């Protein structure tokens, strides 16, 4: 059990209240750390620290853009130097298999590398207006940015938004999920070893209803980045609206893999399974709906079921195929979907229940599950389950496949599996999702690829060059030099 502190103005501090939150290892149920229970007073201190640092001459004038890039490159190197510690912390915190945690740590390093290279390339334009006037635009940092991090991919998601925010010259206040704050605090340790001015990065641990609410409603925040559930995203938007603050929201999905009869079935099988079991299905972009052309449905689904039955479930540190569900509450939510499905006559082809795991007696583990004969309009087909549960549907025509793919309130990711290039592009053109993968799913982490959703999956984009727009504001300057 470790007693940790939060990071405000370059100092490690307790919460003003002196209260703490217990961090639990979901693989075992063991208590692994105590972190401060930050509240409004702590958020205010962090925001004031960030504002002072942002407005300082050191940051505004002395710290040149390429020097910001050097800091981010240094962090990328430090992440790799500490990859073993970070991966173990991520596994202990989230429960995910150790190999997946290592992949997340490497992705975090790549985010800092990527945005380090962009720090001195935030460009404006010159605009022809009329003779005697030079008109140009500049992109300036928005100021103090708020980052509310979810529990499922903490080191990846804090890295992708903080790296972009600092590259563009902002000061950050981060509120990691109360369940999984360990790698965020370790990242603060790495920043503390650099020349980054005090106050540019602040990390406040606390509950969403308390610290998160205070951060979203703070009058001195200039932008909010949030990843999480639709109801909480709505609350974030309402709080931001009170202060006319822009938000970037990524709110989950109900993503389909569309499998046509002419595809490479072995490749499709591999990624259909990976896309639903990664992090025990606790992934916003999980491929939770399998749409299969009727001609091959029985054959392909049998392959999926057999593969699911072969998967090993266990504590994350043992690097199984599937780790635990984060909490008992989340486990019971997944169970409730299955019970409702069975009551509706939906067929459970495999899984559908919790499993006992040696060495993980205090954790909550759910068997990889495949459900068939699912009504496209039912709750199971429409709502995000956030577990290793795959729902199967079949289609006869391309039009029917599209109708099924678009038949939810979400629109985050779509996978298309076909060797017909024309068909692939027709589907990609008409499907309503922010990312489309053809004969692959995820594209190696997609550091460079804009990520975000349509409909209730949110708006705005993380990752890639597009994310830089979140953290800059455009200024137009017109100079008359003649006449």
| Residue from 435, 460, 457, 439 nearest 160 by CA | 460
Q: Could you tell me the two tokens for 112?
A: 């800092």
Q: Is residue 190 predicted with pLDDT exceeding 80?
A: yes
Tell me if 240 sits within 8 A of 470, measured CB to CB.
no
User: In the predicted model, what is the mean pLDDT of the chain?
Assistant: 97
Do 260 and 241 share a structural domain? no
Domain with residue 303: its CATH number is 3.40.309.10
The count of other CB atoms within 10 Å of the CB of residue 242 is 10
Pair (264, 212) in one structural domain: no
Confidence tier at 1 by pLDDT (50, 70, 90): confident
The CATH number covering residue 69 comes to: 3.40.605.10
Residues 9 and 150 in one domain: yes
Residues sharing a CB contact under 8 Å with residue 171, sequence separation 6 or more, in sequence order: 50, 51, 53, 54, 59, 143, 144, 145, 199, 200, 201, 202
For residues 375 and 228, state if they share a domain.
no
Q: Can you give the residue range of the structural domain that contains 465?
A: 2-251+460-477
Domain count of the chain? 2
Q: Tell me the per-residue pLDDT of 276-328, one tens digit each, with 9 for 90 and over.
A: 999 999 999 999 999 999 999 999 999 999 999 999 999 999 999 999 999 99
What pLDDT does 400 receive?
98
Same-domain status, 393 and 431? yes
Query: Are residues 125 and 7 part of one domain?
Result: yes
Q: What distance in Å separates the CA atoms of residue 368 and residue 365, rounded to the nearest whole number? A: 10
Q: Could you list the active site residues?
A: 250
Write the pLDDT tens digit of every residue in 158-171. Answer: 999 999 999 999 99
Task: Say if 49 falls within a structural domain.
Answer: yes
pLDDT digits (tens, 9 = 90+) for 346-392: 999 999 999 999 999 999 999 999 999 999 999 999 999 999 999 99
Q: Are residues 171 and 278 in the same domain?
A: no
Is residue 80 included in any domain, yes or no?
Answer: yes
Q: Clarify whether residues 26 and 124 are in a common domain.
A: yes
**Residue 311: inside a domain:** yes
Tell me the β-bridge partners of 200: none
**Three-state SS at 377:** coil
In a domain, 451, yes or no: no
pLDDT at 444: 67
Alpha carbon of residue 439 to chain centroid: 23
Query: What is the predicted pLDDT for the residue at 104?
Result: 97
Residues 345 and 465 in one domain: no
Shared domain check, 419 and 280? yes
């Amino acid at each position: 059990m470790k007693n940790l502190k939060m990071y405000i103005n370059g100092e490690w501090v307790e919460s003003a209240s002196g209260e703490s939150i217990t961090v639990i290892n979901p693989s075992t149920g063991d208590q692994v750390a105590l972190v401060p229970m930050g509240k409004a007073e702590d958020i205010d201190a962090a925001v004031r620290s960030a504002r002072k640092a942002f407005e300082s001459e050191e940051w505004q004038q002395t710290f040149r853009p390429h020097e910001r890039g050097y800091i981010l490159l240094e962090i990328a190197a430090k992440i790799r130097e500490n990859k073993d510690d970070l991966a173990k912390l991520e596994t202990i915190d989230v429960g995910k298999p150790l190999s997946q945690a290592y992949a997340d740590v490497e992705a975090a390093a790549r985010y800092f590398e990527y945005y380090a290279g962009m720090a001195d390339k935030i460009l404006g334009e010159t605009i022809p207006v009329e003779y005697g006037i030079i008109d140009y635009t500049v992109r300036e940092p928005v100021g103090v940015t708020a980052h509310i991090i979810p529990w499922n991919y903490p080191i990846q998601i804090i890295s992708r938004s903080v790296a972009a925010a600092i590259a563009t010259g902002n000061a950050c206040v981060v509120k990691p999920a109360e369940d999984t704050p360990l790698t965020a605090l370790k990242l603060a340790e790495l920043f503390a070893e650099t020349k980054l001015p005090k106050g540019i990065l602040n990390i406040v641990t606390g509950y969403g209803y308390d610290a998160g609410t205070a951060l979203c409603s703070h009058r001195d925040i200039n932008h909010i980045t949030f990843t999480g559930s639709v109801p909480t995203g709505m609350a974030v938007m309402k709080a931001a609206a009170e202060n006319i603050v822009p938000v970037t929201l990524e709110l989950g999905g109900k993503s389909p893999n569309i499998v046509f009869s002419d595809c490479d079935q072995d490749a499709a099988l591999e990624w259909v399974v990976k896309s639903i079991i990664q992090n025990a299905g606790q992934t916003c972009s999980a491929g939770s709906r399998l749409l299969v052309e009727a001609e091959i449905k029985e054959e392909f689904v049998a392959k999926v079921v057999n593969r699911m039955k072969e998967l090993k479930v266990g504590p994350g540190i043992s690097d199984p195929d599937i780790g635990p569900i984060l909490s008992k509450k989340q486990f019971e939510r997944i169970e409730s979907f299955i019970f409702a499905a069975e009551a509706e006559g939906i067929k459970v082809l495999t899984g559908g229940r919790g499993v006992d795991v040696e060495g993980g007696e205090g954790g909550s583990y759910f068997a990889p599950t495949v459900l068939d004969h699912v009504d496209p309009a039912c709750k199971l087909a429409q709502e995000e389950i956030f577990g290793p549960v795959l729902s199967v549907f079949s289609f006869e025509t391309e039009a029917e496949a599209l109708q099924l793919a678009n038949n939810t309130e979400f629109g985050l990711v779509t996978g298309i599996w076909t060797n017909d290039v024309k068909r692939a592009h027709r589907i990609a053109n008409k499907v309503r999702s922010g990312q489309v993968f053809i004969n692959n799913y995820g594209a190696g982490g997609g550091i460079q690829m804009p990520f975000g959703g349509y409909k209730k999956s949110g708006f705005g984009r993380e990752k890639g060059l597009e994310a830089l727009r979140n953290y800059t504001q455009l200024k137009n300057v017109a100079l008359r030099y003649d006449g």
